[in-house]
């Protein structure tokens, strides 16, 4: 039976070679393809109370003709027929264009069913379809398919109904009974029939629910299988180290770990000590303390005799990490080195030699780290910070640096969980969902640009207390095309304004790394009080004494970027502030500003961002790896996604799944989609 579904579409009654071509054009080659060609929307032709119908909405009503129809002609062919129709307690007008022959068929008191656009103000329906007699007892919900060329919606409806009649019996159930029962899902046959020819709205909902779950489950099964195969085939370094020595390091930290930190540390260490390769994504909001987590992992690798590499997206961040990790590791004999693009010539050669000789235990750097000439002696752990800033390709190269190297990706851009488990579905995910105690909420305000005077005064008030401020501009210098603030002008303006009182620094991507170093150094030592900058300070930069963040033209930034920028303040114990200077024109722009003022929680924010932007846009560009679902919607159906993922994890982890008959259809699916070679997992 199953094979019959894979027969070419010409096997279907009424489909000849001409129709075959137009069907091929929309990707339908087999009967199976046709049955899986779902409507993208439905037209609701069921009767409704006019009270509930919106202006200009399409509606179907049944009523009695209440007045003699009047007919007017314009020119030869164009005409307009009007009559009054009594629908329940409504008396409304009906207009039919260019159908003069209706006149003689409409007699007073006759029952008719009309479909058309409802003009609420004029109480008029403009007819697209008129039926003489009461509403037929057929389904009021009609499927609309996407069509192209000669293909019509009516045509597809016809073919689908033939296919359902002749082939539905051959459709196999993919889901095992216990899952169907657990979620009270329609069978695949029932759901297929309903999605094409729904009788009731409720049925349609149920059919959709079944396919949403199926789609998510299949996708998650692929991901979980891939993960299992990858894991079992990728032998990793087994890090063996003295727990006592490791504990001494933990005890030396200036603060106790949060519960969330402790949990993710355990997850990471258990990966590192396992014989499999770690492939883990660590998510934690800005300021949640990922650096120390990475340090703990690096120290474990060090104790077990391996080198580590820490890769970050900007030189500023590399330097900052190098500095803080150097301090942390100094007493423990871990040698830390920094490799950036400004390390050149002999200095670079010397450093690479030390790396190759195992004299460097931790190498920190930007993407310079993945260049070919860097050879490690024994690389056991690779960590990338703010990993969303690296492309997929860079991530791959990095993973290939050491064959069995454990890999940890850290990101402070909270990825909505739904996306994390789809785009990174084959990775293990750890989440730090807790901030260190005592953190204050950053008070966030959205103000119009004409409030500048007051903001300058506000900055002054904070700076006079010994605090510091950032002022972020979208551009470095003036642009003819864009009417936005640039860092050079703002720097000039602020220098003038605070002259003789406070020092204003300037930071942007065109400074040399020496210049950048100098700016950052003077800012972190409070020699510069106000730092005007482009978004180069966006990630990671840590100056706890800075309490005010002003962002010019904030509407030009995405939510996650604004959140990152805001995360530069609120890093110490003082109350911090974020001021968004913006005058957004679009609704989503306004919405973004509002969301920023409403929450400090990166995960909440990222979920809202996903809603505003949609999954395709969330990561920007094509790299996203976010799959396209046919029925399911990751944003709205996220609960189903979570559930399906959990089920997939359990299935793939169970012995029964790989053996029992009831899972055969799912196993076949995995084999056909190439994630499973059939034999490998036995």
For Mg ion, the binding residues (CB under 5 A) are 540
Angle at Cα 38 formed by Cα 425 and Cα 140, nearest 5°? 130
Stretch that binds ligand ADP, among 14-22, 290-298, 519-527, 597-605 (CB under 6 A): 290-298
Stretch that binds ligand ADP, among 223-231, 288-296, 523-531, 666-674 (CB under 6 A): 288-296
Q: Which residue's Cβ lies closest to ligand ADP?
A: 289
Among 125, 160, 171, 257, binds ligand ADP (CB under 6 A): 257
Residues 28, 37: contact at Cβ < 8 Å? yes
Eight-state DSSP code of residue 386: S
Q: Cβ 645 to Mg ion, closest distance in Å?
A: 27
Residue 440 binds ligand ADP (CB under 6 A):
no
**CA gap 386, 540 in Å, rounded:** 8
Tokens 């488990």, located at residue: 421
Residue 286 binds ligand ADP (CB under 6 A):
yes
Nearer to ligand ADP, 545 or 623 (CB): 545
- How far out from the chain centre does Cα 316 lie? 28
Half-sphere exposure of 21 (CA within 13 A, CB side): 4
Total residues contacting ligand ADP by CB under 6 A comes to: 16
Residues 166, 13: contact at Cβ < 8 Å? yes
Q: Cβ 666 to Mg ion, closest distance in Å?
A: 40
- Residue 287 touches which of Mg ion, ligand ADP, none (Cβ within 5-8 Å per kind): ligand ADP
Angle at Cα 598 formed by Cα 597 and Cα 599, nearest 5°? 105
Pairing status of strand 78-87 against strand 58-65: antiparallel
| Cross-strand partners of 70 | 82
Residue 258 binds ligand ADP (CB under 6 A):
yes
Stretch that binds ligand ADP, among 159-167, 254-262, 448-456, 462-470 (CB under 6 A): 254-262
Tokens 């309903």, located at residue: 194
- Other residues' Cβ atoms within 10 Å of the Cβ of residue 353: 12
Q: Which residue's Cβ lies closest to Mg ion?
A: 540
Pairing status of strand 428-432 against strand 279-284: parallel
Tokens of 468: 């510091």
Residue 284 binds ligand ADP (CB under 6 A):
yes
- Closest by CA to 66, choosing from 90, 48, 99, is 90
Nearer to Mg ion, 459 or 539 (CB): 539
Nearer to Mg ion, 293 or 582 (CB): 293
Question: What φ, ψ does residue 586 adopt, rounded to 5°?
Answer: -85, 160
Question: What H or E segment, with its residue span, contains residue 97?
Answer: strand 90-97
Nearer to Mg ion, 39 or 540 (CB): 540
Nearer to ligand ADP, 258 or 418 (CB): 258
Q: Cβ 256 to ligand ADP, closest distance in Å?
A: 6
Window 385 to 414, contacts with ligand ADP (CB under 6 A): 412
- Residue 358 touches which of Mg ion, ligand ADP, none (Cβ within 5-8 Å per kind): none
Q: Cβ 402 to Mg ion, closest distance in Å?
A: 23
**CA gap 682, 676 in Å, rounded:** 11
Helix orientation angle between 587-598 and 559-566, rounded to the nearest 10 degrees: 30
Count the residues in the chain. Answer: 682
Window 540 to 559, contacts with ligand ADP (CB under 6 A): 542
Nearer to Mg ion, 540 or 584 (CB): 540
Residue 255 binds ligand ADP (CB under 6 A):
yes
Q: Cβ 551 to ligand ADP, closest distance in Å?
A: 18
Residue 287 binds ligand ADP (CB under 6 A):
yes
Stretch that binds ligand ADP, among 38-46, 279-287, 341-349, 634-642 (CB under 6 A): 279-287
Residue 561 binds ligand ADP (CB under 6 A):
no
Residue 261 binds ligand ADP (CB under 6 A):
yes
Nearer to Mg ion, 10 or 324 (CB): 324
Residue 288 binds ligand ADP (CB under 6 A):
yes
Provide the Cα torsion 154, 23, 193, 162; round to 10°: 70
**CA gap 331, 535 in Å, rounded:** 35
Which positions touch ligand ADP (CB under 6 A)?
255, 257-258, 261, 284, 286-292, 412, 436, 542, 571
């Amino acid at each position: 039976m199953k094979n019959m579904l894979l027969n070419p579409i010409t096997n279907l009654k009424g489909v000849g070679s001409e129709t075959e071509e137009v069907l091929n054009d929309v990707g339908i080659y087999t009967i199976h393809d046709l049955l899986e060609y779902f409507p993208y929307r439905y037209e609701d032709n069921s009767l409704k109370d006019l009270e509930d119908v919106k202006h200009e909405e399409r509606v179907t009503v049944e009523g009695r003709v209440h007045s003699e129809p009047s007919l007017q002609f314009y020119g030869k062919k164009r005409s307009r027929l009007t009559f009054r129709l009594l629908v329940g307690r409504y008396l409304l007008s009906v207009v039919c264009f260019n159908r003069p022959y209706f006149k003689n068929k409409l007699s007073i008191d006759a029952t008719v069913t009309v479909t058309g656009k409802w003009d609420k103000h004029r109480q008029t329906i403009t007819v697209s379809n008129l039926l003489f007699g009461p509403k037929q007892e057929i389904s009021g919900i009609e499927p609309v398919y996407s069509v192209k060329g000669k293909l019509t919606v009516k045509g597809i409806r016809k073919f689908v109904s033939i296919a359902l009649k002749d082939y539905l019996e051959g459709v196999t159930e993919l889901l095992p009974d216990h899952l169907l029962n657990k979620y009270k899902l329609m069978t695949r046959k029932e759901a297929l029939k309903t999605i094409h020819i729904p009788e009731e709205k409720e049925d349609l909902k149920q059919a959709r629910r079944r396919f949403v779950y199926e789609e998510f489950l299949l996708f998650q099964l692929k991901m979980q299988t891939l993960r299992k195969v990858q894991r079992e085939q990728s032998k990793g370094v087994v890090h063996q180290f003295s727990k006592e020595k490791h504990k001494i390091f933990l005890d030396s930290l200036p603060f106790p770990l949060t519960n969330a930190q402790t949990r993710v540390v355990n997850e990471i260490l258990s990966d590192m000590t396992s014989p499999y390769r770690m492939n883990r994504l660590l998510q934690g909001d800005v300021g949640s303390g990922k650096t120390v987590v990475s340090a703990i992992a690096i120290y474990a690798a060090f104790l077990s005799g391996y080198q580590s590499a820490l890769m970050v997206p900007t030189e500023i961040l590399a330097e900052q990490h190098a500095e803080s990790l150097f301090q942390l590791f100094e007493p423990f004999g871990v040698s830390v080195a920094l490799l950036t693009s400004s390390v050149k010539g002999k200095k670079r050669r010397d450093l690479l030699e030390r790396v190759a000789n195992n004299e460097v235990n931790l190498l920190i750097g930007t993407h310079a780290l993945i260049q070919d000439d860097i050879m490690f002696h024994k690389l056991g752990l690779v960590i990338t910070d703010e990993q969303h800033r690296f492309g997929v390709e860079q991530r791959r190269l990095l993973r290939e640096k050491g064959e069995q190297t454990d890999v940890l990706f850290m990101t402070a851009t909270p990825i909505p969980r739904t996306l994390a488990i789809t785009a990174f579905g084959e990775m293990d995910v750890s989440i730090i969902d807790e901030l260190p105690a005592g953190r204050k909420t950053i008070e966030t305000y959205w103000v119009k640009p004409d409030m500048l005077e007051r903001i300058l005064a506000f900055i002054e008030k904070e700076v006079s207390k010994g605090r510091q401020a950032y002022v972020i501009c979208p551009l470095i210098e003036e642009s003819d095309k864009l009417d936005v603030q640039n860092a050079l002008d703002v720097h000039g303006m602020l220098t003038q304004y605070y002259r003789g009182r406070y020092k204003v620094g300037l930071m942007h991507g065109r400074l040399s790394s020496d210049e950048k170093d100098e700016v950052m150094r003077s800012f972190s030592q409070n020699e510069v009080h106000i730092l005007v900058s482009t978004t180069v300070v966006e990630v990671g930069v840590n100056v706890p004494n800075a309490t005010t963040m002003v962002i010019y033209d904030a509407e030009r930034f995405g939510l996650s970027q604004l959140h990152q920028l805001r995360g530069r303040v609120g890093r110490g114990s003082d109350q911090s502030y974020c001021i968004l200077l913006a005058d957004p024109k679009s609704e989503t722009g306004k919405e973004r500003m509002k969301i920023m003022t409403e929450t400090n929680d990166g995960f909440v924010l990222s979920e809202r961002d996903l809603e505003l932007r949609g999954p395709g846009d969330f990561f920007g560009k094509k790299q996203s790896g976010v799959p396209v679902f046919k029925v399911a919607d990751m944003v709205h159906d996220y609960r189903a996604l979570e559930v399906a993922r959990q089920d997939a994890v359990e299935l793939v982890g169970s012995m029964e799944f790989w053996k029992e008959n009831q899972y055969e259809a799912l196993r076949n699916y995995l084999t056909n989609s190439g994630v499973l070679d059939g034999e490998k997992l036995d």
